[in-house]
């Protein structure tokens, strides 16, 4: 038989049956170009309010407008710009899906890098620069897919709300928090969302390729600890030394061993990983030893180990102004994370560890999230990855950190981490988050745009 007609191919594509031989070459070029050009727009977020996402927001909005959409630019603070657009689906009775990515990036010290972190250089099949993984790559994938659909006349089954946000790398107050609190109407009908940190390749060193999809996040509990005491001369005995009191509390927090608390997502992850390696396990069994199982999982335990417990890591200390002066106050900051359902235990434990001489408060707090792994949406994400990576093993996991999904959860939106990338052995995806020489392979972007296209058609 001869070649399929255009109408036949379009019908197959609208049903999610993508013929990879006919995948839009322009979309593959654009996802690389967009990643590179977004990296060149310096949207460094130091957390001090000086970030300006507007140039990147305008860049994204222009490309959405070229695809026939009507993007809205929104700011709480001048220069801290968000972009929102809606694509109407073919099924008006279906719930809408939020697809979101942030535009800001963490700082990069150029002296530590082997390339200019804001060059967006494309060399030897790699795109280099801050944001290549976190998460201008996903922003570029979204843009490339939307524009591909506009050229092909494709519409998704359900409404899609596309959002590019500011301020994710700090408090999100100028980004997803502002959108959720002040512009909820733009997300009407959205019940689920996808964003960063899922469907990437994890090589286990035993020949297996694992694709973890995030179905949960630990809550954020950044803490400020304040110890007060008696100020005085450094040469005199002082049993009410604020620095000593703070140091003792910090030591207790740093040495604390948090108890195991397994959430449904983590249990599902442990079962699927154990099955992959032929290990018998039952996380519900009395006396279940998660640490023993993690040891048997080898390097794959890295996917699960950070999320079987709450955690609290001291990160900053501030006190004093002269070596021979005992200050009356000392301050420390702690990066705390708590599991879904674990915040009350987290609070009680901090009360005990800080003791009577140190006060603590939340410097920044956001909720923990839990998403079902037996939902149709999760199944469609799994199927999309497996179509293009049949050798891979898709498993659920819980993120140790957090994303904008926390703020969007205020609107009743269940969040998943799904920003697909297929990377080669030796490419340490997780280490590149906020790391030096951040980069992404061109082939990984091509895989990602294909998988994202496949999923969003069928979602």
Active site residues: 104, 168
Contacts of 36 (CB under 8 A, 6+ apart): 120, 121, 122, 127, 129
Contacts of 228 (CB under 8 A, 6+ apart): 242, 328, 329, 357, 359
Q: Give the integer Cα–Cα distance in Å for 250 and 262.
A: 26
Of 14, 11, 17, 12, nearest to 384 (Cα)?
17
Q: Give the integer Cα–Cα distance in Å for 348 and 363.
A: 17
Q: Give the integer Cα–Cα distance in Å for 249 and 332.
A: 10
Q: Give the integer Cα–Cα distance in Å for 113 and 111.
A: 6
Tokens at residue 414, please? 């269940």
Q: Give the integer Cα–Cα distance in Å for 187 and 190.
A: 6
Q: Is 238 left (phi over 0), alpha (psi -120 to 50) or beta?
A: beta
**415-419-423 Cα angle (round to 5):** 145
Q: Give the integer Cα–Cα distance in Å for 19 and 202.
A: 26
Q: Give the integer Cα–Cα distance in Å for 419 and 141.
A: 9
Q: Give the integer Cα–Cα distance in Å for 353 and 333.
A: 14
Contact 436, 112 (CB under 8 A): yes
Contact 381, 16 (CB under 8 A): no
Q: Give the integer Cα–Cα distance in Å for 289 and 299.
A: 18
Give the CA count within 13 Å in the CB-facing half-sphere of 351: 6
The neighbouring-strand residues paired with 441 are 126
Residue 164 phi/psi, 5° resolution? Answer: -110, 125
Q: Is 211 left (phi over 0), alpha (psi -120 to 50) or beta?
A: beta
Q: Give the integer Cα–Cα distance in Å for 250 and 333.
A: 9
């Amino acid at each position: 038989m001869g070649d399929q007609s255009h109408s036949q191919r379009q019908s197959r594509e609208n049903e999610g049956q993508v013929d990879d031989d006919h995948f839009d070459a322009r979309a593959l070029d654009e996802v690389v170009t967009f990643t590179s050009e977004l990296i060149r727009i310096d949207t460094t977020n130091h957390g001090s309010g000086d970030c300006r996402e507007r140039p990147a927001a305008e860049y994204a909005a222009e490309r959405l407008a070229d695809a026939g959409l009507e993007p809205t630019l929104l700011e709480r603070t001048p220069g801290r710009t968000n972009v929102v657009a809606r694509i109407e689906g073919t099924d008006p009775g279906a719930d809408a899906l939020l697809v979101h990515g942030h535009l800001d990036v963490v700082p990069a010290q150029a002296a530590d890098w082997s390339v200019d972190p804001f060059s967006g250089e494309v060399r030897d099949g790699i795109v280099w620069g801050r944001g290549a993984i976190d998460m201008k790559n996903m922003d570029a994938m979204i843009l490339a897919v939307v524009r591909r659909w506009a050229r092909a006349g494709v519409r998704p089954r359900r409404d899609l709300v596309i959002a590019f946000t500011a301020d994710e790398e700090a408090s999100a107050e100028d980004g997803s928090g502002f959108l959720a609190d002040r512009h909820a109407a733009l997300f009407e009908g959205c019940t689920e969302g996808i964003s960063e940190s899922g469907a990437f390749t994890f090589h286990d060193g035993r020949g297996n390729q694992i694709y973890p999809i995030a179905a949960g996040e630990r809550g954020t509990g950044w803490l400020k600890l304040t110890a007060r005491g008696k100020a005085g001369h450094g040469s005199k005995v002082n049993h009410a030394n604020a620095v000593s009191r703070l140091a003792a509390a910090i030591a207790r927090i740093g040495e604390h061993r948090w108890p195991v608390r397994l959430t449904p997502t983590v249990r599902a992850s442990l079962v699927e990983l154990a099955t992959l390696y032929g290990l018998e396990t039952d996380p519900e069994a009395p006396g279940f030893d998660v640490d023993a199982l993690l040891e048997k999982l080898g390097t794959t335990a890295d996917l699960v180990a950070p999320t079987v417990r709450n955690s609290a890591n001291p990160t900053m200390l501030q006190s004093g102004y002269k070596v021979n002066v005992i200050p009356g106050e000392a301050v420390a900051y702690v990066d705390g994370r708590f599991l879904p359902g674990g915040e009350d235990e987290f609070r009680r434990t901090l009360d005990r560890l800080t003791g009577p001489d140190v006060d603590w408060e939340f410097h920044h707090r956001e909720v923990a999230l839990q998403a079902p792994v037996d939902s149709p949406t999760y199944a469609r994400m799994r199927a999309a990855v497996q179509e293009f990576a049949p050798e891979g093993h898709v498993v659920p996991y819980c993120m140790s950190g957090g994303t904008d999904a926390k703020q969007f959860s205020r609107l009743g939106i269940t969040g998943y981490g799904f920003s697909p990338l297929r990377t080669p052995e030796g490419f340490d995806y997780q280490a590149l988050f906020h790391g030096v020489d951040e980069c992404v392979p061109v082939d990984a972007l091509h895989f990602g745009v294909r998988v994202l296209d496949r999923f969003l058609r069928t979602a």
